[in-house]
Chains A and B, each alone.
Chain A
Amino acid sequence: MSKPPFIRLDGVSKSWGGNRGVERVDLAIDEGEFVVLLGPSGCGKSTTLRMIAGLETPDTGRVVIAGRDMTAEPPAARGLSMVFQSYALFPHLTVADNITFGLSVRRVPRRERQDALAKAVSLTGLTGLEGRKPAALSGGQRQRVALARAIVAGHPICLMDEPLSNLDAKLRHAVRQEIRALQRELGMTVVYVTHDQTEAMGMADRVVLMNGGRVEQADTPDALYLHPDTAFVATFLGSPPMVLMPAESVPERLLPPGTPRDDLAGLDIGIRPEAISLAEPAPHRHRATVRDAEFLGAETLVYLTTGTGEAIARLPGRLTIRAGEPVGIDWAPGAATLFERATGKRLSLPPREHRHAEAGASHGGSAPPRAMGATGHPPHFQTETLP
């Protein structure tokens, strides 16, 4: 991290009449990085993107792009392009004119324009469709036109606002990989907004998970999945999400090593469904009853009722299991994570090597509110046993 970040947000806030805004977001994006802003609807991810684009002006804070303060600059001055959810193609222009719209507005000579067009068209596989109007294209082709328009000018930054949400599932998967390949080939810095976690996990170099206008956690997809900072991150990522149970309801053997045994009342224990195994009921296992089971081919989801709520186990292969059957649920203690129930924060943040220094949210990297009693324990209790 010796180079300064390419895009930097410093304490950026935006609100409309006090709701649905963005609150003091700090973000640093490196050149060539593929960053996904992820979160539920209304979390402020699109607003954040629009502030980077210059389509919204932040109430407070600064937007710095390539070392220049761009907070007050119009979108055109920021050297970026954007793919909209609706594609925002100009319906009266042909594919070629749509793609070169920005170039002709900027009075790029015709010859250069033609060359850039030919390149963008072949990169996005639109050859032969240049003369058509958007109305005569399929959804996937329109998406490609939007993509071609975004890359044709060779801007170093490309912003994408849920670009795949209007495509069907099959196409979405293919385009996802094409976008990623295109980004690598052109070395673009991409900021990508989505509410779809598989898109985020599959494409991102780094995922910025947002909630309620704040950054919950910003990290690589695997770090986000394996080391969630908050209960929100833990339950947002993963399908099915992490199971949360009151820590005091769980047999002591299953608590992660280093748990402060004297004060379990305010803690939740979180376990990924795939870390849970089922066995005969026994005193050293957590007791549960099978409510239902779903066979999904490669795996079976078992819905369980525990004394304190619901849990889901994700087991490989096919299981013969009946509803109403009492079972004992088990997991490797190291696979569990503890969260403070009141704040949702993870208890104890062991030092991790791959956390981005300035990537955290305004509160994301703060010290744990409760000091761990024993420091002699292994540095972290989440072993990397998860798939």
Chain B
Amino acid sequence: MEQLATYHRRRQALYGWLLVSPALILLTLFALSPTVATFWASLHSRGTIRRPSAFSGWDNYADLIADPSFATVVGNNLLYAGVTIPASIVIALAMALWANAKIPLRGVVRGAFFTPTMLPMIAAANIWLFFYTPGLGVIDAVTGLFGLPPVNWLGQPQTALWAVIVVTVWKEAGFFMIFYLAALQTIPPDLREAAAVEGAGRITYTRRVLLPLLMPTTAFIFINALINSVKLIDHLFILTKGGPNNASKLVLYWVWEMAFAYFDAPRAAAMTVLVLLVLGLIAVFQFRVLDRRIHYR
């Protein structure tokens, strides 16, 4: 009898492992092992023909942090994230509220908002490159009408990062709007009427009913925007290549540069590990703290 029970238990356990295995294999192959390999690489010196790679401990990290570019690039990325995330969320929400209202040409408005999302980032960057072209671009053509001098938006350190930020917000807001639009359509119109009868105006309704009910969507969008603020660097290749003087260089672009332009893979690996660490901490914060405050239906 006991043998039979053991047999059944083992069968169940095997069944469980079989169910888990596809995900386990894929994650190990494409997420876990590269992470470990990267970490391993970050602990070794750069190998050349004369001097093969050797274990160097935290040297790569020390070098990295000592590099003046590190502070610039991290600062750039913090500013980039700090502006693009809230800006694209707020604009997406505003557009969704507008596109959800009963307005004429609603389909056209929604389509217009969504168009940037459908473009590949490289194509969008090329369009904006034309907008930003000093003297000839759309922006200078418009400002020229008012007699303002042409500005090299992408070519000067003070404006380069902001020009990149504008492109990112323009690209992302439409995408996030779709999520807000979907969420708004699940909110019954009765709630607005009930709030109106109870004396809540448009602003009170938005603040006390609409926004709380949209919090799950906002959390989802926030995470997406956060990920994009680290991983979305396609447009940098077209617009600025991180310049001038590192003014618009973001972390991942820097990693790419170190690994494939300067062939310093260990330092790139060290930087990657740091990025993973920060993202991991944010994920923990999200699950532990934010999720408790959000009402999921």
A interface residues, Cβ below 8 angstroms from B: 53-55, 74-76, 80-82, 84, 86, 88-92, 101-102, 105-106, 133, 135, 149, 153
Interface residues of B in 126-145 (CB under 8 A from A): none
Is the contact region of chain B dominated by helix, strand, or loop, or is it mixed? helix
Query: A88-B188, A92-B212, A105-B208 given as contacts; is B197 within 8 A of A82 (CB)?
Result: yes
Q: Is the CB of A91 within 8 A of B213?
A: yes
Q: Is the CB of B193 within 8 A of A102?
A: no
Query: A105-B208, A135-B297 given as contacts; is B194 within 8 A of A88 (CB)?
Result: yes
Q: Is the CB of B193 within 8 A of A88?
A: yes
Cβ contacts B26-45/A at 8 Å (1 or 0 each): 00000000000000000000
Q: Which residues of the partner chain B approach A105 to less than 8 Å between Cβ atoms?
A: 195, 198-200, 204, 208
Does residue B54 face the partner (Cβ distance < 8 Å to A)? no
Q: Is the CB of B193 within 8 A of A55?
A: yes
Shortest beta-carbon distance, A258 to chain B, in Å? 50
Does residue B223 face the partner (Cβ distance < 8 Å to A)? no
Q: Is the CB of B197 within 8 A of A81?
A: yes
Q: Which residues of the partner chain A approach B193 to less than 8 Å between Cβ atoms?
A: 53, 55, 75, 82, 84, 88
Q: Which residues of the partner chain A approach B201 to less than 8 Å between Cβ atoms?
A: 76
Most buried by B among A53, A82, A84, A88: A88
Is the contact region of chain A dominated by helix, strand, or loop, or is it mixed? loop
Interchain CA distance A149-B297 in the complex, whole Å: 21
A-B contact count (CB 8 A): 66
Most buried by B among A55, A75, A133, A135: A75
Please provide the 10 A-B residue pairs with the shortest distance between their CB atoms, ordered closest to farther: A102-B198, A88-B194, A88-B190, A76-B199, A92-B295, A92-B212, A75-B197, A82-B197, A105-B200, A105-B199
B interface residues, Cβ below 8 angstroms from A: 188, 190-191, 193-201, 204, 208-209, 212-213, 215, 295, 297
Shortest beta-carbon distance, B124 to chain A, in Å? 36
Q: Is the CB of A80 within 8 A of B197?
A: yes
Interchain CA distance A84-B197 in the complex, whole Å: 11
Interchain CA distance A53-B297 in the complex, whole Å: 29
Most buried by A among B199, B204, B297: B199
The closest CB in chain A to the CB of B198 belongs to A102
Q: Is the CB of A86 within 8 A of B197?
A: no
Shortest beta-carbon distance, B67 to chain A, in Å? 47
The closest CB in chain B to the CB of A85 belongs to B190
Q: Which residues of the partner chain A approach B200 to less than 8 Å between Cβ atoms?
A: 76, 101-102, 105
Q: Which residues of the partner chain A approach B212 to less than 8 Å between Cβ atoms?
A: 92
Q: Which residues of the partner chain A approach B215 to less than 8 Å between Cβ atoms?
A: 92
Q: Is the CB of A86 within 8 A of B190?
A: yes
Interchain CA distance A82-B196 in the complex, whole Å: 10
Query: A91-B213, A92-B213 given as contacts; is B199 within 8 A of A84 (CB)?
Result: no
Q: Which residues of the partner chain A approach B188 to less than 8 Å between Cβ atoms?
A: 86, 88
Q: Is the CB of A55 within 8 A of B196?
A: yes
Among the listed B194, B204, B208, which residue makes an inter-chain contact with A84, where contact means beta carbons less than 8 Å apart? B194
Q: Is the CB of A84 within 8 A of B297?
A: no
Q: Is the CB of A90 within 8 A of B191?
A: yes
Shortest beta-carbon distance, A192 to chain B, in Å? 15
Interchain CA distance A74-B195 in the complex, whole Å: 12
Q: Is the CB of B198 within 8 A of A76?
A: yes
Interchain CA distance A149-B194 in the complex, whole Å: 10
Q: Which residues of the partner chain B approach A76 to less than 8 Å between Cβ atoms?
A: 196-201
9 new A-B contacts, CB < 8 A, other than A82-B197, A84-B193, are A55-B193, A74-B196, A82-B193, A86-B190, A101-B208, A102-B197, A105-B195, A106-B199, A133-B295
Q: Which residues of the partner chain A approach B297 to less than 8 Å between Cβ atoms?
A: 91, 135
Most buried by A among B198, B209, B215, B295: B198
Shortest beta-carbon distance, B195 to chain A, in Å? 7
